[in-house]
Structure formats: structure tokens, C-alpha cells
Amino acid sequence: MSDTPARVAVIGLGSMGYGMAQALRRAGLDVSGSDVVPDNVARFSAEGGRGAASPADAAAEAGIVVCVVVNAAQTEAVLFGPDGVAAAMPEGAVFVSCATMDPEIARRLAARLEATGRHYLDAPISGGAQRAAQGELTILASGNAAAFAAARPALDAMAAKLYELGDAAGQGAAFKMINQLLAGVHIAAASEAMAFAARQGLDLRKVYEVITASAGNSWMFENRMPHVLDGDYAPRSAVDIFVKDLGIVQDMARSQKFPVPVAAAALQMFLMAAGAGMGRDDDASVARIYAQVTGTALPGGTASTS
């Protein structure tokens, strides 16, 4: 590295990307940012970042381009669409892809970018907006040595925990999908159990106390079920996220002829919640679907808050 700060472009200044851009700036890096929402860019500029008019503008002098968008289609558009970054990035620069996606698509995007002389790091993230802003994300990364080396200053600034999971794109994405399979099933199971407990007339705070100290506990039960106890479905993470992520799991599994009946059942419950108008509500809203269907009372009622 030279003495001048590395330029890092962040594409997507939503709740995750904005925080990551802040963490990168705090680490002393020179950060440009782009977003489809002009207000997000204006706010970033007002706080001292380099607001850019397009992904291509943001990436033009960046050795690292961090892409924090929602899915594979948006990632592909950021790379290869109009005003995309692939042609704008300096040769030898690295594209750090943070969206959750099918590993097969990650491999395809990487191959296409690498053919132009740029590097691709498959780097899905987890941890939420607060940890993003603190530079304390978990990053599940895979890619070749050159991609890791080029991305290192940004990874160091963004991650509390960096897993290096393989030497090719797709492996990071695959690990992320295994986590999302489990996380989605556990939210649906927690919702099913909590609503069923309400149907038995059990004291739900006591259920929470007992389960979190027992073999039935999960990270998601412990994290999400307080939303049900409080009847508070303001979105921390939305139902639609798991409609998407368990959908990717189904697509992967189907194309590989691998049955995933438990994840399939969980996906149906997220689809019911989204279909009932709760797609943008907190993902613990799945509990409200069980309650609505069966006429079971939950704290705060079961109406959609969207």
C-alpha cells in the first residue's frame, strides 16, 4: 500500500451500506458512495463522504468497490448494467460482493468480472445495521489470494469476524445460505411454538424464560421472540428477507435435486405472512399468522403494521 489512503467505493447506502461506509471512513479510508436514493448520497456528502452520481463515478478511482445491495439481480446491475462499475474500476481493483445470493450466480459474476482483469471477493455479511456502523460485522468470504489481498484494508475496517472460507467465489455464498436456511427455519419454529404455547394458555414470558434456558433454544428464538412478547413488529429484519433467502435455498436445492422439507415448510409460513400484508414487518410476524389463523390471542394483537 502507498502512503495515500486507499479509495473505497460503497455502492448502496442503505441501513447496512451506510454504516459500513461510516466504518470505512472512521478507519481513515477515502470513501466514495453511491445509491439509487439521492437523499442517501446527499446525507453521505454532508457528513464528509464523497457522494457520487452513479456507481461508475464512485468506482472510477477506487481500488476496492464494496457492493451492499439486496440481491443477485441488483449486484449484476451494479457490475454490468448502465453506469456499472466493472468497466469503471481500475484494473487490479477488487469488487466485494455482500448480497446474499445463490453460489452459482456468485461464481458466474466472478468469472465475468475476472475476465476483465478485476478481482471478485464473494463476501456476504451478517450482523445488522448497528454492527455495520461499528465496523463489527461477520463476513463470510471466499475468493483468490489476490482478491483477499486487495480487499484487506476494507475487510479490516468492516469486520469483527472475517471467515476465509475458500479460494473461489461461491463458497462464501454457500456458507451464508446454510446459515439462512437455519435462521429462517428457527424463526418459523419459534413462531409456531410461541403461538402454540399461547393456544395452550401458557404464560408467554415464562415460556421465553424456560425455553431460553433449555435444549429447545435457538439464537433466533432468543433474539426474535421478545418482539412477540412485546407485540412490537416494527421491522428490525423484515419478513421479505426470508421470503427471498429461503427462496434461494429452495432454488439451490431444487436444481441440485436435494430435498429440504423443513426449510420448505418454513418458507410457506413466511409466504403466508408476506401474503397477509406483513412483508415489511418484522420477521417475528410469522407468529401472528399462526395466531390469526387459529384465533389465538398474542400480546398487541395480530394485525399487520405495514
Of 176, 206, 244, 257, the catalytic one is 176
Residue of the chain from 8, 174, 248, 298 that contacts its own copies (CB under 8 A): 174
**What are 154's three cell numbers?**
476494507
Helix (H, G, I), strand (E, B) or coil at 279: coil
User: Which x/- pattern over 213-232 shows residues binding its own copies (rule: CB under 8 A)?
Assistant: xxxxxxxxx-x---------
Residue of the chain from 26, 87, 117, 206 that contacts its own copies (CB under 8 A): 206
161 is catalytic: no
Between 54 and 179, whose beta carbon lies closer to its own copies? 179
The answer to whether residues 240 and 286 touch, using CB atoms and an 8 Å cutoff, is: no
Minimal distance, residue 200 CB to its own copies, in Å: 4
Half-sphere exposure of 75 (CA within 13 A, CB side): 28
Minimal distance, residue 231 CB to its own copies, in Å: 19
Residue of the chain from 293, 297, 301, 303 that contacts its own copies (CB under 8 A): 293
Between 150 and 267, whose beta carbon lies closer to its own copies? 267
Taking the C-alpha atoms of 279, 282, 286 and 288 in order, what is their torsion angle to the nearest 10 degrees?
A: -100
Between 99 and 260, whose beta carbon lies closer to its own copies? 260
Instruction: Scan residues 78-117 and list those touching its own copies (CB under 8 A).
Output: 103
User: Which x/- pattern over 112-141 shows residues binding its own copies (rule: CB under 8 A)?
Assistant: --------------x-----------x-x-
Q: Is 306 in the site for its own copies (CB under 8 A)?
A: no
Give the residue from 248, 247, 268, 250 showing the smallest Cα distance to 189: 268
Chain-centre distance of CA 305, in angstroms? 22
**What are 251's three cell numbers?**
432454488
Minimal distance, residue 226 CB to its own copies, in Å: 15
**What are 146's three cell numbers?**
489476490
| 4: Cβ contacts below 8 Å, ≥ 6 apart | 30
Sign of the alpha-carbon torsion through 18, 22, 27, 32: positive
**Spatial separation of the C-alpha atoms in residues 132 and 301, rounded to whole Å:** 32
User: Which x/- pattern over 246-275 shows residues binding its own copies (rule: CB under 8 A)?
Assistant: -------x--xxxxxxxxxxx-xx------
Give the residue from 197, 124, 186, 193 showing the smallest Cα distance to 161: 124
Between 116 and 268, whose beta carbon lies closer to its own copies? 268
> Helices 286-294 and 261-273: crossing angle, nearest 10°?
80
- Residue 92 neighbours by CB distance under 10 Å: 11
Which range binds its own copies by CB under 8 A, 40-48, 78-86, 148-156, 159-167? 159-167
Residue 226 parent element (H or E): helix 219-230
Catalytically annotated residues: 176
Contacts with its own copies, residue ranges (CB under 8 A):
103, 126, 138, 140, 161, 163, 165, 171, 174-175, 178-183, 185-186, 188-190, 192-193, 195-197, 199-200, 202-203, 206-207, 209-211, 213-221, 223, 253, 256-266, 268-269, 290, 293-294, 296
